[in-house]
């Protein structure tokens, strides 16, 4: 009889320890999940911030590129205008010389 009671006590203690271990492992899993969620959210936030910074950098680079291209276009336009003025002056002089009979 005493042996049966000892076995029941051991079984009861074993059941209690198993339940406690399950509870503890459940708590550890919950805590790990929460920590993972926090870490994922933190990483998402860092990614959003990095993306925003990259967008600002790319916009700045695009502005600088556009400004540089505008400056280059302005120089080319000025060179073309100067050439056109020079050609215009030559054409006018040629007309004047032709009218005056000079060649």
The pLDDT of residue 70 is: 98
Q: Within the chain, which residues score under 70 in pLDDT?
A: 102-103
Triad 41, 44, 45: Cα angle to 5°: 90
Q: Residues 6 or more apart from 103 whose CB is under 8 A from it?
A: 97
Q: What is the pLDDT of residues 82-100, one digit of tens each?
A: 999 999 999 999 998 889 8
- Determine the 3-state secondary structure of 17 from DSSP: helix
């Amino acid at each position: 009889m005493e042996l049966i009671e000892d076995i029941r006590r051991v079984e009861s203690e074993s059941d209690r320890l198993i339940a406690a271990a399950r509870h503890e492992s459940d708590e550890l899993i919950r805590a790990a999940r929460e920590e993972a969620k926090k870490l994922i959210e933190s990483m998402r936030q860092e990614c959003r911030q990095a993306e925003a910074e990259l967008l600002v950098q790319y916009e700045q680079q695009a502005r600088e590129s556009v400004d540089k291209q505008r400056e280059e276009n302005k120089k080319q336009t000025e060179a073309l205008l100067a050439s056109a003025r020079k050609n215009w002056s030559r054409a006018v002089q040629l007309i004047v010389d032709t009218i005056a009979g000079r060649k």
